[in-house]
Amino acid sequence: MSIGIKYDTARAQSRIRQVIRRIQEVGGDPSKALIAWGGYMLAQTDRTFRGKGRDGVKWPDLAPSTIAARRKRGITHRRPLQQTGVTKASFQTQNVGKVTQKVFTRIRIARVHQSGATIHQRARTLRPSNKQALAFTIGGQKIVVRKVEMPARTIKIPARPMIFIAERDRKMGFNLLRAHYQNVLARSAKAGA
């Protein structure tokens, strides 16, 4: 399971379809411009992580319970989705045919954070898997027990869109295609001269 976006120029705006058709008519390959657009979108995704959102789509702050849990583990920053950097680094691009570019991640939990989720956990009993007892520290006091009864709970994870196509991204895709078309025309004019 992965999340991602596809910039499918075969179904995109008529201006983009016209540029693609012109590139193909003069023997050019639009996938080169789409590869450039994929690199641009990876940079935008990185920008989203650094700015906790972009283009008017801001990420909610971390819950106080998350901040407290991180503090206990020695993590002092409050940047969502950046505890290890694995999700941020996992985004990649892929050409799908000559007219589609895909930007995606295969990190499963990313889908939950992209769209948000409500997770219902049933009540359960925690028992040691390979020891006689469970041991942990609460408030500086060491506690040893044979089992712990965990009550049912609901966890709400807010949506933090990591990847999306904003209007400026659409314009950049069009501009890359148009510049590629102009380069193809220039090359074909030189070859014909």
The domain spans of the chain are 3-116+158-192, 117-156
CA distance 18 to 99: 12
pLDDT at 14 over 80: no
What's residue 89's pLDDT? 92
DSSP 169: H
pLDDT at 39 over 70: yes
What's residue 13's pLDDT? 61
In the chain, the percentage of residues whose pLDDT exceeds 90 is 37
Residues 77/104, Cβ–Cβ less than 8 Å: no
- Give the mean pLDDT of 59-67: 91
CA distance 49 to 161: 10
Residues 3/105, Cβ–Cβ less than 8 Å: yes
Average pLDDT, the chain: 85
Strands in the chain per DSSP E: 3-8, 53-54, 57-58, 92-95, 100-105, 117-121, 124-126, 134-138, 141-145, 148-150, 153-157
CA distance 26 to 23: 6
CA distance 39 to 71: 35
Q: Is residue 159 very low, low, confident or very high in pLDDT (cuts 50, 70, 90)?
A: very high
pLDDT at 99 over 80: no
Tokens of 104: 């995606």
Residues 67/78, Cβ–Cβ less than 8 Å: yes
Q: Is 181 helix (H, G, I), strand (E, B) or coil?
A: helix
- Give the mean pLDDT of 125-136: 91
What's residue 11's pLDDT? 53
- Give the mean pLDDT of 48-67: 88
CA distance 145 to 134: 5
Model pTM score: 0.74
